[in-house]
Amino acid sequence: MKKRELAALIDVSFTLNRGERIAIVGESGAGKSILGFSIVNLISKPGYIESGSIKLENKELTTMNLRQLQEIRGKRIAMIFQDPMMTLNPVLTIGNQLVETIRSHTNISYKDARNIAIEKLHNVQISSPEKRFDQYPHELSGGMRQRVIIAAVLLLNPDIIIADEPTTALDVTIQAEILQLLLSICRDNGVALILISHDLGVVSKVAERTLVMYAGHIVEEGPTLEIINDPQHPYTQGLLNALPQMTIPGQRLNQIQGSMPSLAERPTGCAFHPRCPYATQKCKQEQPQFIYSGVSSVACFMIEDMLNEFADTDKEVL
């Protein structure tokens, strides 16, 4: 890496199985959106993928040219962004945008494309889809717009949906509906989902597996419910304990001291050590490796030491 460059992601590895729903959780600046964008190579300049590989089945995505990528984007891997108003073109009708999407990827007539679009709008529970087809985005409410986006994503029957904070801009009651819709669509069509979110409550409703990110690293990975019930990494513990529902009303909340370091000031060793209550000398110098704790995979020296201790006592007992 050159001198004036900053790494947003460092040594991130994970797999996604067919039809699986995973979540990437972290605070702002953790690199979760960059991770989502990297998968379909949507990183804007001056950002670039320095090294590593992203494979869809056996095809390498990082080295593809634009033409090859366009075969993947939308058709195999589709994205839902946070703000539906930014995603939809305000000067085109909903129908035009949907039809355009279908016809740019497949060679079918306008009429057929229109039928597909209306069917998909119907699938996402939009009332009177024929009427909505000719409306403009500003005529729809926020929740309705996000439904249109989901319909657009479904047009080409992708294998993977990457949803970047899909409900953050919505109210709670609408959020609950959109999550329910997303979940049922993934289940019914066997679509894999990568949900990027900062809200552990949302994640627990949708994802089977969760990756927790901190300052460009994945720090913990495991089944969602187990991570929520028994978080291993001190950061995950802190994140969960900081939620108001984890404390008796009126008491002080359990806060994590400090804040996430900026990319330029990433500490040496484990990136979490300045905020970690268990940090030792070793944490300041070395980068912890992933280790399976019995609940989840964690990158933490404390967990590693604990496991080693257990192993030693086991040996003595034997």
Partner 1 sequence: MATPLIQISGLEKAFSTNESWLGQWRLRQGKLARHKDSVHALNGVNLTINQGETLCVVGETGCGKSTLARVIMGLTPPSAGEIHYLDQRIDQLNNRQRMFFRRRMQMVFQNPYASLNPRMTVYQTLSEPISFHNPQLSQSSVDEKIDELLESVGISASSSDRYPHEFSGGQRQRISLARALSVEPDFIVADEPLSALDVSVQAQVLNLMMDKQEERNLSYLFITHDLAVVEHFATRVAVMYLGRICELSPTSTLFSSPKHPYTQALLSAIPRLDSNTAQPIRLIGEVPTPTEKPIGCVFQARCPYANQRCYESSPSMTLQSDGSSVACHAIEEGRL
**Which residues contribute to the site for partner 1 (CB under 8 A)?**
27-28, 141-144, 171-177, 179-180, 198-202, 204-205, 225, 228, 238-240, 242-245, 247, 249-250, 252-256, 259-260
CA–CA dist 98, 120 (Å, integer): 10
Q: How far is the CB of 132 from partner 1 (least distance, A)?
A: 14
**8 A C-beta contact, residue 98 and residue 155:** yes
Check if the beta carbon of residue 25 is closer than 8 Å to that of residue 212. yes
CB of 33 to partner 1, least distance (A): 14
Query: Residue 107 or 127: which CB sits closer to partner 1?
Result: 127
- If the CB atoms of residues 256 and 303 are measured against partner 1, the closer one turns out to be 256
Max Cα-Cα span within the chain: 75
Shortest reach from residue 49's CB to partner 1, in Å: 26
| Nearest of 181, 180, 171, 129 to residue 150 by alpha carbon | 181
Q: How far is the CB of 259 from partner 1 (least distance, A)?
A: 5
> Do residues 59 and 75 make contact, with C-beta atoms less than 8 angstroms apart?
no
Cβ nearer to partner 1, comparing 158 with 234? 234
The DSSP code for 292 is E
Residue recorded with tokens 């000031």: 265
Q: Of 96 and 204, which CB lies nearer to partner 1 in the complex structure? A: 204
Of the candidates 155, 66, 58, which has an alpha carbon nearest to the alpha carbon of residue 114? Answer: 155
SS3 163: strand
Three-state DSSP state, 81 = coil
Please choose, from the candidates 186, 199, 8, the residue with its C-alpha nearest in 3D space to the C-alpha of residue 210: 199
Tell me the closest approach of the beta carbon of residue 111 to partner 1, in angstroms. Answer: 31
The tokens of 274 are what? Answer: 């300045």
Contact 147, 178 (CB under 8 A): yes
CB of 248: closest distance to partner 1 in angstroms? 9
- Residue 54 or residue 176: which is nearer to partner 1 going by CB? 176
Q: Which is nearer to partner 1, 90 or 250 (CB)?
A: 250
The least CB distance from residue 172 to partner 1, in Å, is 4
For partner 1, the closer of residues 75 and 198 by Cβ is 198
For residue 149, the Cα-to-chain-centroid distance in whole angstroms is: 17
